[in-house]
């Protein structure tokens, strides 16, 4: 299978792709999330991995917008505990490091480690593993990367500080994406496997309209695990709601969706899939 990921070999997206699909895959490396939807819709890749939220930094809102805009479907989710390691060329110590290059999210999650090291300059880059590769390829001394231990092994760097993330219990949720959408009521669906759904809807501009939708879920014993609002680009001060919900009873879920479809101005199922419990 050809799998699109953000970043390169050794990135956290690579780790997720192998965890979900196994090692017998061909990676299509992308330096930005915006490249992924086009690759999926053109058929150049079979599936893709995209980070969607972090337990520290919260939701990655632009990625919700990409999934919606390009009509992608969520086929699975993966939670990964994120361990950040400081790595550099061999035979260097922390005292030799003048700059640290990494993805902005990694720098954010490790900010406490560098708080008492003002002599080290933090530089934002596009990908954690790509920095590790560049340091090794160009033999750059005095510069360290923050990346996964897999990246250190791939690019033969030495880990000079382990687990430097501020919060040790740091997890990122990733979506596994495919092209297009199935109907939420397609008869071939494996209802006993697909126990989670992600949906998008827009409510009417009436008082209590959102509360009415949430009440329908409650009356059908459907647990909501996330609710996120995003502005509608071409409608100033209008918002769409993205919701994750757990499906314990597929019939109750279908009934709730039927009722909700009559209460909203727009309803879209982004995916029905098996939940990966954190």
Domain at 183-273: CATH code: 3.30.70.260
**What does the pLDDT read at residue 183?**
44
The structural domains of the chain, with segments of one domain joined by +, span 2-81+171-176, 85-161, 183-273
User: Under a CB-based contact definition with an 8 Å cutoff, are residues 73 and 180 in contact?
Assistant: yes
- Roughly what angle, to the nearest 10 degrees, separates helices 209-219 and 250-261? 160
**38 sits in which H/E element:** helix 35-42
CATH topology of domain 2-81+171-176: D-Maltodextrin-Binding Protein; domain 2 (3.40.190)
Residue 178 is given by DSSP the state E
Mean per-residue pLDDT, 87-95: 96
Task: Please report which confidence band the pLDDT of residue 182 belongs to, taking 50, 70 and 90 as the band edges.
Answer: low
Task: Please report which confidence band the pLDDT of residue 180 belongs to, taking 50, 70 and 90 as the band edges.
Answer: confident
- CA-CA-CA-CA torsion sign (108, 110, 111, 114): negative
Q: Is the pLDDT of residue 148 over 90?
A: yes
Domain at 85-161: CATH code: 3.40.190.10
- Fold matches, 2-81+171-176 and 183-273: no
């Amino acid at each position: 299978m050809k799998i699109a990921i953000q970043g390169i070999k050794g990135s956290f997206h690579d780790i997720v792709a192998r965890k979900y699909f196994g090692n017998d895959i061909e990676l299509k490396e992308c330096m930005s999330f915006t490249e992924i939807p086009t690759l999926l819709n053109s058929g150049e890749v079979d599936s893709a991995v995209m980070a969607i939220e972090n337990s520290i930094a919260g939701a990655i809102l632009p990625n919700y917008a990409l999934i919606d805009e390009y009509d992608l479907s969520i086929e699975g989710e993966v939670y990964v505990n994120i361990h950040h390691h400081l790595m550099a060329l061999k035979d260097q110590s922390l005292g030799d490091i003048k700059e640290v290059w990494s993805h902005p999210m990694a720098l954010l999650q490790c900010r406490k480690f560098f708080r008492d090291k003002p002599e080290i300059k933090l530089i934002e880059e596009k990908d954690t593993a790509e920095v590790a590769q560049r340091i090794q390829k160009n033999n750059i001394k005095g510069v360290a990367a923050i990346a996964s231990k897999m990246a250190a092994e791939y690019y033969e760097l030495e880990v000079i500080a382990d687990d430097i993330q501020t919060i040790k219990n740091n997890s990122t949720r990733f979506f596994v994406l495919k092209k297009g959408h199935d109907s939420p009521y397609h008869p071939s669906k494996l209802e006993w496997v697909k126990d989670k759904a992600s949906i998008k809807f827009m409510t009417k501009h009436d008082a209590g309209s959102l509360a009415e939708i949430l009440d329908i879920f409650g009356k059908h014993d459907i647990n909501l695990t996330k609710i996120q609002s995003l502005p509608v680009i071409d409608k100033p001060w209008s918002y769409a709601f993205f919701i994750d919900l757990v499906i314990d009873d597929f019939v109750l879920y279908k009934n709730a969706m039927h009722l909700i479809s009559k209460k909203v101005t727009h309803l879209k199922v982004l995916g029905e899939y098996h939940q990966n419990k954190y």
